Structure 1
């Protein structure tokens, strides 16, 4: 019996607009970044990111652990709860480019996430029945995440 090789199906891209991070307890290690809106577009889902929620993130050494929670409103009006957790780290030279506002591609840094979706909307139940992963990149005031269903 041969080993199963997983595959990925692209389902949509999130463009999550964010505000400036807030430092928690006066330390640079723990931050909360408010989510202020955004868009959802792709072959399986379209809609908008509602201006509700935030991304809590902790930096330990060179790695940042992310824990975001927010809401999507699909084009049909259905609300979808999003929990998105992941990791961010990059080589020093790439991190400097990110902080300088340069475009850095998904392959140049490790910015990976895993999703859990919840909704009572029958049309979007497929989101609650599979594992989803994301490849992210930063743009000015926006986090872009290409979301894939793990097959």
Structure 2
């Protein structure tokens, strides 16, 4: 063992605009919903652009944990299209959930809302997105989800 530890490099923040979730159904053990993605922005030191209104987040709640599976498209400022697959987990203590539903701001440190990304693009300028692992630290805001995206070094 070398003692080396991985680090994180902040690359951009996504502000993903969403519309009301569509409830698919509930069974005895889970609840499936789909949240349409309707737009948004990307800003940061490595990428700027917009989230296109193409895609959705399929989320399944099992007990206190929600498993997320989102797929959508982003467009870089240079016009390049980038496919995004974003999967992760969300859970929070009951008091944090009450604060969220009451409309209070809740920070990334108050809940577990973590995701991983896989990007695909044919644009040479953005190939770096297809050659590394990325993690996101998310927080809900009214009408959108904000995700700070980091490249794992």
Q: TM-score, normalised by structure 2?
A: 0.96
- Give me the whole-angstrom Cα distance separating, in 1, the residues matched to 2:55 and 2:101: 24
Give the aligned CA root-mean-square deviation in angstroms.
1.1
The corresponding residue for 2:17 is 17
Q: Secondary structure at the match of 1:123?
A: helix
Structure 2 residue corresponding to 1:102, chosen from 96, 101, 104: 104
Name the residue aligned to 1:8. Answer: 8
Give the counterpart of 2:136 among 128, 134, 137: 134
Q: 1:26: how far off?
A: 5.9
- 3-state SS in 1 of match to 2:67: strand
Q: 4+ runs of 1 displaced by more than 2 Å?
A: 25-28
TM-superposition CA deviations, 1:17-45 (whole Å, max 9, x none): 00000011366710000000000000000
Distance 1:101 1:29 in 2: 23
1:37 aligns with one of 39, 43, 47: 39
Number of residue pairs matched by the alignment: 151
Q: Which runs of 5+ in 2 are unaligned?
A: none
Deviation at residue 70 of structure 1 after TM alignment: 0.2
Separation in structure 1 between the aligned mates of residue 147 and residue 9 of structure 2, nearest angstrom: 14
**Alpha-carbon distance in structure 1 between the residues aligned to 2:25 and 2:134:** 33
Q: CA deviation at 1:101?
A: 1.4
In the alignment, the residues of structure 1 paired with residue 20 and residue 129 of structure 2 have an alpha-carbon distance, to the nearest angstrom, of 30
Aligned with 1:24: secondary structure?
A: strand
5 Å-filtered alignment, 1:64-83, equals 64-83=66-85
TM-superposed deviation, 1:2 = 2.5
Task: Report the Cα offset of residue 3 of structure 1.
Answer: 2.3
SS at match of 1:25: strand
Question: Aligned partners of 1:23, 1:7: CA distance in 2, in Å?
Answer: 38
